[in-house]
Amino acid sequence: MSLELQSQPRIRAAQYIRMSTEHQRYSLENQAVAIAEYAERRGYTIVQTYEDAGKSGLSIRGRDGLKQLLADVVTGQKTFSAILVLDVSRWGRFPDTDQSAHYEFLCRDAGVAVEYCGEQFENDGTMVSAILKNMKRVMASEYSRELSAKVSRAQLQQARLGFSQGGPVPYGVRRMLLDKDGVPRFLLGSGEQKGLAGDRVLLVPGPPNEIRLVRRIFNMFVSEGQSMAGISVRLNKEGEPSTCGEPWTTGRVASLLKSELMIGYYVYNRTSHSMSSQSRPNPPGKWVRIRVMEPIVTAKIFKKAQLARGKHGYTYTKPEMLKNLKRLYREKKRLSLTVINACPYTASASCYIRLFGSLKAVYAAVGYVAYRRWSQRQYSDGELLDGFRRLRAAHGYLTRSLINADSDLPIYRVFKKRFGSMAAAYTLAGFPGMESELELSAVARIRPSGPEGLRRDVSKPPSEGLGRDRVHRFRN
């Protein structure tokens, strides 16, 4: 360094470093070393570092380092007058090159220069600099386009050979890891990924107990006419765990019923998602559909299941749905999302809402008026507290389900809003220790190994229930 440069005050600068994948182990260190050498030659002192590790340059989404850098610059919270970046591609590989120029302009407009330390041009605003910089931006964007196209072609080719290209697999299916020679190695667990680029993943049927349950689910849906919500509730009540031991949900049942893996076919390229763009559906002509394993269910029952699901996912026609809902209303004397989803012979509540437009319209279609359960004005404090005492005397305990299921009381949230908290309501009702009692009983009664989300019959004691209807700890 010259004596003249040593005598001048050093310029305070920030550095921005980014690497696109976690596999680029030393990328950030190498960038920092190159920037430090540039700063030493040009008289900069690096006072702050912004970094994005493992972040793509195609979008600003997820790049918290760049976001914070721009926020500090625009809001005036900066303590530097220059930003040092290794090259144009580290700043970003945006498909729209104007986006990269926009962020740089924000910095310049705030009085902060952007310097590209590894480029062969000076970012000094001259015509030559502007032309070269824009060419670099286009080249950075084009590199990403070409890479995206190469990866897409490789994935399509591997899919045509029957190898899985990622994504979740339905219940009853496993992922088998193969080495580069196609020799099976072991089954991958949930969340596990292949460690070598030459390895491949093949989809195979799961264990016999899962195969039997899959066939039973199809039979319940096709032959018995049960809804997807009803199937999930029934399986949870029987203690049948879903994938990774999780409880069954309507969505999990639906994904199983519609997956062509159940008849042995792997389908890939249904959608396209490249260059950080939004996913868009592809026409069937672009799909890759190949037989990868023995079918779990017959093609005949699978086709019947798709017909039963219907174009909009409804299990029944509109008249049938209304008929079943009216039957449920006659039996339960009330309706709610929980009551509908727990019913084995109705469609799920979400299906009714999609068909009628709103839950209120669903209720109106069968003549159910729900306002009484939601209104506070129809109950005095004494009536609410007497209801607590009555339920406690009848059952020996209190739960949210008991309160919600009682046709002579509003839902439990009315109590919270009226008295400020459930603990205050218990105290006014003459049960000052109810809060701690519920807490202890909840710990003692919950079975940790059972599936969550079961809907218990409120006529049974809490020890027979678990999941979302267990004894609740009401809080302020």
Query: 44-52 and 82-85: which strand pairing?
Result: unpaired
Check pLDDT > 60 for residue 380: yes
Same domain, 223 and 299: yes
Task: Give tens-digit pLDDT for 195-228.
Answer: 787 889 999 999 999 999 999 999 999 998 888 8
Same domain, 274 and 382: no
Query: Domain range for residue 406?
Result: 373-469
Same domain, 384 and 354: no
**Could you say which DSSP state residue 49 is in?**
E
Check pLDDT > 50 for residue 232: yes
Domain final residue, candidates 92, 125, 145? 145
Same domain, 7 and 137: yes
Same domain, 292 and 390: no
Q: Is residue 430 part of a domain?
A: yes
The rounded percent of the chain whose pLDDT value lies above 90 is: 26
Task: Give tens-digit pLDDT for 354-365.
Answer: 788 777 888 888
Check pLDDT > 60 for residue 462: no
Check pLDDT > 80 for residue 398: no
Q: Is residue 84 part of a domain?
A: yes
Q: Report how far residue 97's alpha carbon sits from residue 262's, in angstroms, rounded to the nearest whole number.
A: 45
Check pLDDT > 60 for residue 52: yes
pTM: 0.53
Indicate the angle between helix axes 208-222 and 250-258, nearest 10 degrees: 90
Q: Report how far residue 70's alpha carbon sits from residue 60's, in angstroms, rounded to the nearest whole number.
A: 11
Q: Report how far residue 216's alpha carbon sits from residue 177's, in angstroms, rounded to the nearest whole number.
A: 28
Q: Is residue 156 part of a domain?
A: no
Q: Is residue 163 part of a domain?
A: no
Q: What angle do CA 375, 397, 336 make, to 5 degrees?
A: 35
Q: Is residue 160 part of a domain?
A: no
Q: Report how far residue 34's alpha carbon sits from residue 47's, in angstroms, rounded to the nearest whole number.
A: 16
CA 134 centroid distance within chain: 38
Q: Report how far residue 272's alpha carbon sits from residue 283's, in angstroms, rounded to the nearest whole number.
A: 10
Check pLDDT > 60 for residue 373: no
More confident residue, 395 or 326: 326
Q: Give the torsion sign (CA, 268, 269, 274, 278).
A: negative
Same domain, 115 and 47: yes
Tokens in use for 471?
């004894």
Q: Report how far residue 175's alpha carbon sits from residue 204's, in angstroms, rounded to the nearest whole number.
A: 6
Query: Residue 316's pLDDT is what?
Result: 61
Tokens in use for 212?
């039997």
Give the chain's domain count. 4
Q: 15-24 burial, b for 16+ CB within 10 Å, e for fewer?
A: bbbbbbeeee
Same domain, 278 and 386: no
Q: Is residue 476 part of a domain?
A: no
Domain final residue, candidates 309, 339, 360? 309
Cβ proximity of 450 and 464 under 8 Å:
no
Q: Is residue 16 part of a domain?
A: yes
Task: Give tens-digit pLDDT for 244-292.
Answer: 888 888 878 988 999 999 999 999 988 887 666 666 788 888 889 999 9
Query: Residue 459's pLDDT is what?
Result: 40
DSSP codes, 337-400: HHHHHH-TTS--HHHHHHHHSSHHHHHHHHT---HHHH-STT--HHHHHHHHHHHHHHHSS--H
Tokens in use for 403?
């309160």
| CATH number for position 200 | 3.90.1750.20
Domain final residue, candidates 263, 283, 309? 309
Tokens in use for 165?
């290209």
